[in-house]
């Protein structure tokens, strides 16, 4: 068990290093969708060449395989989930687990084959692939779509769990809630969730770094975690 935990932690820290070196994980001041001023920002759209997205897929595949999640196919929600789902399917096939994949269009196509779905028919237990789960909106939309097709939304794999409070709107007012989007998907929607890395992993990486520039961001990320963070499940 200790070897497994050690391997999982190494994977997470290696991924944080990779994301920083690729310019995908940046530090500064960024406004989130919830209106919070975050000291870091993760933009998976910057995995923008063959080598980067190939390595990204290897991180996803290793986390999925280590998680032990059983699934029959992959679904990538538009738009960022499309290349993530395709490259994850390729990497899993390379490692001996060949599964079909599908994705959706934002706009329904009214010519040719028509419809909003592309790829394999949705059936069986479906693994949803996305980058970061903030409000969980994309996942809930994916769950509805999968169920409409008679398939079973079974699990979600993401690159980064920000481990921060989600928000909800009540009577036109947006307020924080004491759980994260990941926790909501696990506890309320009943899906398994695997994240390649988390905010805790980012904090550990910064605390272990010998780079003075990176260490300078540690206190800001710690303060953000203290203000908006949720405890791990």
> CA-based Rg of the chain, rounded to a whole angstrom?
18
Q: For the chain, 233 residues long, give each residue's pLDDT as a single digit of tens.
A: 445 558 889 999 999 999 999 999 999 999 988 889 999 999 999 999 999 999 999 999 999 999 999 999 999 999 899 999 999 999 999 999 999 999 998 776 554 454 689 999 999 999 999 999 876 777 889 999 999 999 999 999 999 999 999 888 777 777 888 899 999 999 989 999 999 999 999 999 999 999 999 999 999 999 999 999 997 65
**pTM for this model (two decimals):** 0.91
Q: Which of 97, 111, 169, 217 is catalytic?
A: 111
**CATH match of 2-228 with 3.20.20.370:** no
- pLDDT attached to residue 102: 97
111 is catalytic: yes
Could you say which of 109, 186, 217, 227 is catalytic?
109
């Amino acid at each position: 068990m200790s070897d497994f935990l050690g391997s999982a932690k190494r994977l997470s820290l290696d991924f944080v290093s990779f994301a920083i070196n690729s310019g995908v994980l940046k530090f500064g001041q960024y406004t989130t969708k919830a209106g919070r001023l975050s000291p870091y920002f993760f933009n998976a759209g910057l995995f923008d060449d063959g080598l980067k997205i190939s390595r990204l897929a290897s991180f996803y595949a290793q986390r999925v395989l280590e998680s032990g999640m059983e699934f029959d196919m992959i679904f990538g929600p538009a738009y960022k989930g499309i290349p993530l789902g395709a490259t994850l399917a390729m990497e899993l096939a390379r490692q001996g687990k060949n599964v079909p994949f599908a994705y959706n269009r934002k706009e329904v196509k009214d010519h040719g084959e028509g419809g909003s779905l592309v790829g394999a028919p949705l059936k069986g237990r479906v693994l949803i692939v996305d980058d970061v789960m903030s409000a969980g909106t994309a996942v809930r939309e994916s769950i509805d779509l999968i169920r409409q097709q008679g398939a079973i939304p079974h699990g979600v794999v993401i690159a980064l769990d920000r481990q921060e409070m989600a928000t909800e709107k009540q009577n036109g007012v947006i307020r924080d809630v004491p759980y994260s989007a990941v926790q909501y998907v696990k506890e309320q929607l009943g899906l398994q969730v695997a994240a390649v890395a988390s905010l805790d992993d980012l904090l550990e990486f910064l605390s272990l770094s010998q780079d003075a520039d990176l260490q300078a961001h540690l206190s800001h990320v710690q303060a953000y975690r203290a203000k908006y963070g949720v405890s791990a499940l």
